[in-house]
Structure 1
Amino acid sequence: MEISGDDIADVVLKQFDSWEKKRKPVVRTNGVREWVPLSGIVAQGKNGFTCLAAATGMKCLPQKSIPQAQGVVLHDWHAEVLAIRSFNRFLLEECHSLALSKKGSSEYVRVRDEHERTESHFQPFALKEGINLHMYCSEAPCGDASMELTMASQDDATPWSLPPATDSLSPETPHKPASAPEPILHGRSYFSALGIVRRKPSRPDAPPTLSKSCTDKLALKQSTSLLSSPTSLLIS
């Protein structure tokens, strides 16, 4: 069966429509309509499509606030990041349920046989065969994925020249020797430069953070796994 992006979007949007009104953007008293990015992870299996995780969000914890957070506050709550975290929570709950029930499998996760486990692949659970995962984002993720849209919205899309830098977090500082790392660009600054790690937020007037852009985080997940560290200890 051929799958379109609209098929995946419909599943996530239906999930969003089922949420309570208080969890959705509203029209303010001054007539301004709120909006927020939405992301979701959809499983495709023998029973069709199911939205396993969905989230909205567009904020980040400023770098200066991290010491006060004391490790108990999320640094990044952009929708894409929250959807992946929620997906991992779903998988952990599936594993917990299987461990308590002594069942061999759920709709999405199965218990691995003893002969499947090795020293390097010791995890007791695995995703069931035939499960495909898809991700939906209502907005282009911040970072490189949204650069073309940013360029198209400019009155003058002439590429900007890169600034000299010594501090990977501060593009404005004097130039370092050739061996120095490339600067981490702030938000959507220097939008014509692609393939460079960017940090959030995209707004230049917002406090800087230590969180990489969603594009960079999703690229990393594509190369490694959607699984978080705790989940990867349980699911192969």
Structure 2
Amino acid sequence: MNMSKAARIALILIVLPLAGCLSGCLSGLRGEVTPIQVVSPNVRIEIDPNWPQVDLALNVRRPQANQMLDGFGLLVRQDGHRLMTWPGLAWADTTVDMLQAELIKGLLDSRRLTGGVARPGEIRANGTLMSNIRHFELVDDGPDGRHIRLEVSAMLTRNRDARQVAGENFLVIRPVGSSDAAAMLEAYEAAITDLVQQVIGWTLSEAQAQKDMLEAVGVS
């Protein structure tokens, strides 16, 4: 497999000794084990100078997702409803853990939350960023309709009483130029970067707008 088009994506080649290690990623032909390439997107957000500086601390909770989405497989949707995993590839983390880590990293890199950003329980925070992953997949509708679809709903809650103070839905569609894995991975990386960028900008703006409601420190 020529991965030169995805040079920015970290790839680690491993061979799984057991056929059941990652369901859906093994060929199963004559009992052979397919080498699995473990991939991790290189997400680098751009710091928007218009993002506000907010004197608050936030927790970022692990996103919610159904069992199929909360896994290591790179999902492919065909015929509108049929889901499978791309053979021979797996995420280094589950999509849920990956999104949580990227949101935390992005908020930390932004240096806009003076009180800090962490997972729940690691710091006393004013509010919590919660999210639900609805779609995180390659949609294969043929050569002219192949695209990455990421859809996430986000919610900002006040830790004192778990009251929701803001909510938003995010949808990112990124065309995939060809049917090879390199093109798919490049599109995935671009889509994830776009999604994280949008969620971080929204979180900072809403945290600033709802600062008075969030200021009472609570424990999430």
TM-score by length of 2: 0.29
Q: Which has the higher contact order (CA 8 A, sep 6+)?
A: 2
TM-score by length of 1: 0.28
Structure with a larger share of its residues in strand: 2
Structure with a larger share of its residues in helix: 1
Pick the structure with greater CA Rg: 1
